Structure 1
Amino acid sequence: MPGTPNYYSLKVVIRDEANMVYTMFAAILDPVEVKSVKYEGVSSGSPLVLLPVRTTFQDFCNRVQRVIYKGDQLKNITKSLQESLKTAFSSESVLTEILHYTDHNLVDRLEFIFLQLHTRIAGKSNPAIEIHYEVIDPSEISRTTVDEDEIARKEAADALTPPPTTPGFIIPIDKQLVQFRFQLSPVNGTPLTELKPGDTVFIRLLPGDSITDNIISSLNLINPEGIVQQVPAKIVNISNSKNISEVVIKINEQVYGKILEEENSVKIKTFDSSAGAAPLLTSVASVTATSKANAPQRRDAGDVSHILPFMFILGLVAIGLVAIFFFV
């Protein structure tokens, strides 16, 4: 659009269910000067942070800042995303390509560019991508349609709601408690409210505490792209209250987890019983503190078993010497 004083407002949302990476970014592009005026982006482990692509550029900026302020971002991936955006939107050749595709409504070419960017920061997968762009006047850059302050007030009020109780089940004090998120499956998943004790779901452990980090490391759950892989777990107890659910899961007899899920409408990836027996992670127990503490005792017992035959022979020799001495 040569000669126009208007800008392009570009917004992108990428939902990577396989890696549990949910990315949103937006940019204001000047097609005359072939430069970026402003851009923002963030990646999170929750799809709940994402906005519809038809909201405004400033809506995206406000949401990105609130996600980062609350600590809901995936820090390493967000850092890589922001570096990639800076590289892309500072390159005249890349911007020329993006603006050309935008001018000619070549959405598939734009998708290819941004999916390549996503693969570099989050790993290979088959994510869903939404792109929306529109011509705006410079005076519209700061226009908003989403009241982030109102959303924050609602979240604060929800936080004051007493969490549901889980009658009939208490995690034993000798078990290890890990941090995790459910693996979501918006199309084929089971709604959280329909899950019941005994169901096998898929989860991802969240690094950050010593117990969870130890198990992630022991099971080699981090793939080459730095993403923690999903693991199966069995639901032990679930309690729903309004829009909050408290769920207790068990990875095996030694390792449990508990989560307060604040969105009952999410769909969880579950194990299809028609595929056979549910998978279990039996090896996790070998990395627990209890088993490590008992390991030296087991080795000591093994050492004693090797000594017993020699003790028996020495005993016979001693009896023989006593007998000889007695008769002499």
Structure 2
Amino acid sequence: MGDSANYYSLKVAIRDEGTMTYVMFAALLDPIEVKTVKYEGVASGTPHSLLPVRSTFQDYCNRTQRVIYKGDQLKNITKSLQEVLKSSFSSESTLTEILHYIDHNMVDRLEFIVSQIHTKIAGKSNPLIEIHYEIIGKGDVQKTTVDEDEIARKEAASQNIVPSSSSFVIPIDKQLIQFRFQLSPVNGTPLTDLKPGDTVYIRPLPGDPITDGIISSLDLKNEDGMIKQIPAKIVNISSSKNISEVVIKINEQVYGKIIEEENSVKIKTFDAQAGAVPVLTSVASATESSKSGGIHKKDPGDVSHIMPFIWILGLLAIGMFAIFFFI
């Protein structure tokens, strides 16, 4: 049997707001030989990296490589994704199943397979999954609709006008985490209106040792794998027309820095159910209090200085008892 004249182009975009993980992958499938011609995939911590699922297969490949080249990927999750994709798209039984679902437009079954892949790489959650597939000829495999070079030039130009944050330098003995702002399109505060001292909500992005350690020490991962939002203080913010660079502080030991490319976003600064925003003071206070149940055990040595008074009171009591007895 010869190769098919046409391929299936399968593209997937996953938006997991709970874990702040954004995944995209594409596969080129040969329905006649039941084999995978090529696949690409990447996970990042920003939704800006995702392409619409109706982009071309080559668009997905180019964007994947560019995200990796820029270092914007979540390395551990991307590595897991590529391992799972290799296993899935190398399995004849899995490919036969996928091709069957495509042939019969069974999108719900495809979504189930994709959700299983996402659970393996990012944990159990409730992500938004978008899937698009189409038939393309061999001559259309390298067709593109997105000019990545032009996007790169625009990004380079915009980076040149990002204001310097040299007025604030994060101390070298502090831990620096990766994070994303918790957005609130309706009740949030515009990024450009925020100032140092304001409290905002953020979600740490898992994927590097320091951030993973903070997530673990502050017990920020729910049983379903979602990362909890936590409050942070803005300590420095520098904005231009289109971009803001923000430095936040979770506590005295943990800082974070981010370049937000959309100044129009609204950041969550208040939780109506929680009332006033609590402020974490230190990693130690957040962990040790939970271990001890909030109970402070006193050192037995603390009462040693009152022992002489106890002896004196005892002698007085004995003397008074003797006086009353003989009277």
Q: Calculate the TM-score normalised by the size of structure 1.
A: 0.75
Give the CA RMSD over aligned residues.
3.5
- Provide closer, same or farther for how the CA distance between residues 166 and 6 of structure 1 changes in structure 2, counting only shifts above 3 A: same
Question: 1:136 is paired with a residue of what secondary structure?
Answer: strand
| Higher deviation after alignment, 247-256 or 128-137 | 247-256
* Structure 2 contact 8–135 (Cα < 8 Å) conserved: yes
In structure 1, distance between residues paired with 2:212 and 2:28: 40
The match for 2:132 is 132
Residue ranges of structure 1 left out of the alignment (5+ in a row): 288-301, 311-328
Q: Which moved more, 1:265-274 or 1:69-78?
A: 265-274
- Equivalenced residue count is 295
Distance of 2:304 and 2:274 partners within structure 1: 50
- Residue aligning to 1:80: 80
CA contact (8 A) 1:15 1:23 kept: yes
TM-superposition CA deviations, 1:144-172 (whole Å, max 9, x none): 111111111111111211416698xx579
Alignment of 1:271-290 (within 5 A): 271-273=270-272, 275-284=274-283
Amino acid at match of 1:90: S
Matched-pair contact (CA < 8 Å) for 1:202–1:270: no
Deviation at 1:230, TM superposition (A): 3.6
Question: Could you say if the C-alpha distance between residues 214 and 95 of structure 1 is closer, same or farther in structure 2, counting changes exceeding 3 Å?
Answer: closer
1:13 to 1:153, Cα distance in 2 relative to 1, 3 A: same
In structure 1, C-alpha distance between the alignment counterparts of 2:238 and 2:104, rounded to whole Å: 52
Look up the match of 1:182.
180
Query: Alpha-carbon deviation of 1:6?
Result: 1.2
Equivalent positions of 1:215-254 (< 5 A) are 215-216=214-215, 218-221=217-220, 229-236=228-235, 238-252=237-251
> How far apart are 1:282 and its partner, in Å?
2.8
Amino acid in structure 2 at the alignment position of 1:178: L
Contact 2:181 2:202 in 1 (8 A): yes
- Do 2:10 and 2:27's aligned partners in 1 also have CA atoms closer than 8 Å? yes
Range moving further from structure 2, 268-277 or 95-104: 268-277
Equivalent residue number for residue 296 of structure 2: none
| Counterpart secondary structure, 2:126 | coil
Matched, 1:105 2:105: yes
CA distance in 2, matches of 1:207, 1:192: 26
1:207-245 deviation digits (Å, cap 9, x = unpaired): 7586x6765554344678988654221345544321111
Give, in angstroms, the shift of residue 45 of structure 1: 0.9
- 1:96 paired to 2:83: no
Say if 1:26 and 1:39, in contact at 8 Å, map to a contact too.
yes
| Aligned residue runs from structure 1 range 28-67, under 5 A | 28-67=28-67
* 1:25/1:186 CA distance change after superposition, 3 Å: farther
User: Is the Cα contact below 8 Å between 1:42 and 1:64 reproduced in 2?
Assistant: yes
C-alpha spacing 1:123/1:217, structure 2 compared with 1 (3 Å): closer
Letter in 1 for 2:159: A
What 5-or-longer segments of structure 2 have no aligned partner?
A: 287-298, 308-327
